Amino acid sequence: MHFAEFFLIVGYAIEAVGVFVIVAGMVISSVSYLRNFRKMAEGEAYLAYRRQLGRSIILGLEFLIAGDIVRTVVAAETLENVGLLGLIILIRAFLTMSLHVEVEGRWPWQNHTEKTVAKKPSKDENPG
């Protein structure tokens, strides 16, 4: 087995881990939701389910991006392949950031205390 073939297999293996993480996260999140949806307040179980599922998708996408990078470095022989894989990585990175905002309510580079939505003034803060 040659160097390039080995790392192509490694890239596909990393992507397989990403798919496994997404599927396992979906199953675990669903089972957890079905166990807890009657015990929690209305809407709380759904939000917990959505957050848990979103986090597993984000983690799986990170593995998929890593696999793409490994395969691109080793197997990209043409500019077209590099461009196509770069576009796939760009789309997956955009999905990861979008899901992060959906799940966490903030951008990945913001502190836990910062929020993306401006705080509405309360009655005490509003002079009018």
Residue 62 in tokens = 């990170």
Of 61, 72, 62, whose CA–CA distance to 8 is shortest? 72
| Residues 10-22 as b or e (16 or more Cβ within 10 Å = b) | ebeebbebbeebb
Residue with tokens 């990209």, as numbered in its chain: 76
Per-residue pLDDT at 124: 53
- Give the Cα separation of 47 and 37 in Å (integer): 10
Q: Token pair for residue 96?
A: 């990861």
SS3 of residue 108 by DSSP: coil
pTM exceeds 0.75 for this model: no
Give the pLDDT means over successive 10-residue stretches in the chain (128 positions). Answer: 83 95 95 86 84 90 87 75 81 83 76 56 51
